[in-house]
Every structure is written in C-alpha cells, then in structure tokens.
Amino acid sequence: MNARERLAVALDVPSLDEARRVEEALGGVPGWLKVGAELFGAAGPEAIRVAGRRARVFLDLKLHDIPNQVARAVAVATANGVGMLTLHAAGGAAMLAAARDAADESAARSGRQRPILVGVTVLTSLDDTALKEVGVRDGVAGQVARLVELARSVRLDGVVCSARESAAIRRRVGPDFTLVTPGIRGLADACDDQARTATPGEAIRAGSDLLVMGRPIARASDPAEAAAAVIAEIEAGLGVPQG
C-alpha cells in the first residue's frame, strides 16, 4: 500500500448532508473513508455510496451477534461494495467463520470484490481497569493476543488493535496480516475518549497498516490539508524520502 492507502478518515457525523460536506472537503486525499454506526443508522447504504465516490469504503459496524445474523449482514455489505468490514473477534470462531464464508459467497454472486474482514480485539477506549470491569483479568495485552490467534484460526484478514499492541502482533503474525489502528492523534491533538493513542509515525513504525483518524481531520479548518499532513507523516514512518 502507498501512504494514501494507509489512511482512513472516519465520517463520524449524524447526517448524509454532513457526510457529503466532509467527503467533498477531503477532496479524495485519503484512500479510505470510514462509515460507522451513527452515519449508517442515519443514511443506510446511501452512506456507502457517498463515501465511495473517491475512496474505498471501510464499514465499521463491529458486528457481534449469532453467526446467522452476522453472516446475513456481511453478505449485504459485500453486495454493496464495501472494501473493509469490522467484526468483534469476541463473537467467537463460529461467528467469524460464518462471516468469512458469507463474504466469499456474496462476492461470487454479486461480482464484487470480497471485503477485507478484520476482527476488533480491544477497543482503544479501554484499558486494563476497564477490562477488569467486564471480567477480563489478564489485561489488554493478554486479551489482544488471545483474539489475534482466534482471528487467525478462522482465516480473517487482520485485526483492529492500538499501536501499543501492533509491534508485538506484527512479530507474531508476520507481514501478511492487516493491522488496522484507530486512536491516532497528532502531538497537539486532544485524546478525546481514546485511552491508547499514538501518532501516525509511531503507529506505522510499530507495524500498523491502516490508520484511522476522525475528529482531528474531519473537524480541521481544511480537512484535505490535515489529511495530507498525516499522509506525509505516514511516508516518513515508512522511510519514504521527503521533498
């Protein structure tokens, strides 16, 4: 992937009109646009079409349900042409395998490319204390390692993880496994509700493949310029000569 294809900007907005405004302001600079639950709930598949005008679509619904329901949702998303889709790895092997099979079958029927399927490990808003509240006693590192192995066992394409776990995962899985990293912030950016953050350069050097940023870019006075600055940081992290 080139640097542009390593940046996903989140369209975390409440309406299709606002999504169009952000998409137009970005001017096709990032390679991916992410549609989450808020926008998809407001606009449905039309949000995918708006996001897909000049970028690949990352549909981030973090599916977590019984295998049949997840499989049906994945089939519909695949037919709608999404490029990447999230599933909660904690949904278990049967659910993840059903999603993988549904994506393959829907892609064959619709003539679409199968989306990249990534399993969410531990949300970047959570830390060891928060995990203990839901019964996970061995902390973020232990839970992430466990769910990475589960995702690999059912042949998912990758996982969602913070940059703090990327280096250890990359050493464990090698190069052919996609690491998607949210919680990306510049040095001057507020962390908002993120607990495990990193800069773009830190995340790339740690082994992350695709960086997800929302508010710092979408709410900038010039979103295209802000996205281009992040891409330059990604290039620096990859060792691409500047100038």
User: Which among 62, 146, 152, 170 is annotated as catalytic?
Assistant: 62
132 is catalytic: no
At residue 32, φ and ψ (nearest 5 deg) are -130, 145
Sign of CA dihedral 66, 132, 183, 36: positive
C-alpha–C-alpha distance, residues 213 and 63, integer Å = 20
SS3 annotation, 149-218: HHHHHCCCCEEECCHHHHHHHHHHHCCCCEEEECCECCCCCCCCCCCCCECHHHHHHHCCCEEEECHHHH
Contact, 94 vs 65, CB < 8 A?
Answer: no
As annotated, the active-site residues are: 62
